[in-house]
Amino acid sequence: MTAPMTAPTRALRGRVLTFIGDPATEGDKACRYLEDGLVLIGGGKILDVGDARDLLPRLTSQVLVEGYPGDLILPGFIDAHIHFPQTQVIASYGAQLMDWLERYALVEEQRFADPEHAAEVAAFFLDELARNGTTTAAVYGTVHAQAAEAFFQESQRRNTRMIAGKVLMDRNAPDALTDTAQSGYDDSKALIAKWHGTGRQLYAVTPRFAITSTEAQLEAAGALLKEHPDCYLQTHLSENRREIETVHELFPWAESYTQVYERFGLLGPRSLFGHCIHLSSGERRLLSDSGSVAVFCPTSNLFIGSGLFDLAEAHDPAHPLRAAIATDVGGGTSYSMLRTLGEGYKVLQLQDQNLPALMGFYWLTLGNARALGLDDRIGSLEPGREADIVVLDARATPAMAHRAARIETLAEELFLLMTLGDDRAVRATYIAGEKVAAHG
């Protein structure tokens, strides 16, 4: 794990953990752990990773060595599905999906016609992600092109690697939140030209879900993907039974919800489908055969009462699904990927399934990077990767420290973090090698 030394400017010293494979198939061999490790950083990239005793003698006095004795140094967390305009409707009481959207989310999103408001919220949102150790996310905007513009501007200023897009909605939404098939296409195309591949910004074509897009708009979304095959597609799929019934009413020719998206060319290895709870076997086959990604959003699914994601079905060897995990703020109830793992564990327990700690932390890092097709850039601590890093303290609270006194293995420590951990467990977050958040 060695690369040529090219002027490191910073080194992080602590207990280094990174994944090189999937624990589900490779067990303990899927991770690399250094009890006293050093991560060398320069030019926003990881230059080398190894034992501190081997690398320290090679450093000059100009290199800033930041020590985190006892803490864990990992790749930054990746959130595969989150809504930046919903920061002020998180924790809104008492509604299931369709009512929640109408009463809260769609009302709030109308405020993003104001670019200054969008910019203010984008700054808060990116601060909050960093505070929770999240360094990359797949982000939904609103229907307003100016809100997407504000988000990309703020992300570019911070040098964060983000995937985002303007939402497409040309029906079944308030007038103030609707575009047209043509205007949505034109706005998206202009945003792609300006932002996709600019710095660390990436674009996702973003129809909210089939209910709020006409066939003409879904066809336009498919056209955008054909014209820009390196862009992403993000939308929602089979989150709620009433939602599914409405899709069947709007698209009577379709055998399933998933087939609606298939008809318009929206399935594929860069397509991210939030929730995927109530899938038929035929729908799982369509998603599997196309390499599409099912995104598990446990805190949202529990809070809105949508249902339980079936990971065992996703791992069916006959039709395996690529799966990611996400917060889905603001239906989701925490920006913390640690809290997301903890709730995901409970969702699976209710179905007699398990989420081992190694599998969970693989998912937050290399697993989600692979799902996004970005594992050549983020998700692991390897030379040449972008230096997005989180430092975790498993003794961050009195209760955690009390429990940690009896912990004997790394797996137990990771399970403690995913069960009791939250933003308080994040000692520091680094974006492209620069410290952007620190606690304690």
Q: Divide the 440 residues of the chain into consecutive groups of 10 and give the mean pLDDT of each group.
A: 64 98 91 97 97 95 95 98 94 82 88 96 98 98 97 98 98 95 98 98 97 98 98 97 96 97 98 97 97 98 95 93 96 96 98 96 98 98 98 98 97 98 98 90
* pLDDT for residue 101: 85
For residue 420, give the CATH number of its domain.
2.30.40.10
pTM over 0.85: yes
Asked whether residue 239 falls in the same domain as residue 94, the answer is: yes
pLDDT score of 2: 47
CATH of the domain at 287: 3.20.20.140
Determine how many CB atoms are found less than 10 A away from the CB of residue 142: 28
Range of the domain at 58: 10-76+379-438
Predicted local distance difference test score (pLDDT) of residue 94: 77
Q: What are phi and psi of 118, to 5 degrees?
A: -60, -40
Same domain, 173 and 208: yes
* Contact indicator for 108, 141 with CB cutoff of 8 Å: no
**CA pair distance 147, 121, nearest whole angstrom:** 10
Q: Are residues 198 and 256 in the same domain?
A: yes
Domain co-membership, 361 together with 397: no
The residues near 4 (Cβ < 8 Å, ≥ 6 apart) are none
Cβ neighbours, 10 Å, residue 249: 9
Same-domain status, 332 and 208? yes
Q: How many domains does the chain have?
A: 2
Give the pLDDT of residue 6: 61
- 312's tokens: 């065992």
Verify that 387 and 328 share a domain, yes or no.
no
**In a shared domain, residues 183 and 102:** yes
Q: CB–CB of 305/96 below 8 Å?
A: yes
Residue after which a domain boundary falls, among 371, 389, 413:
371
In one-letter notation, the amino acid at residue 264 is: F
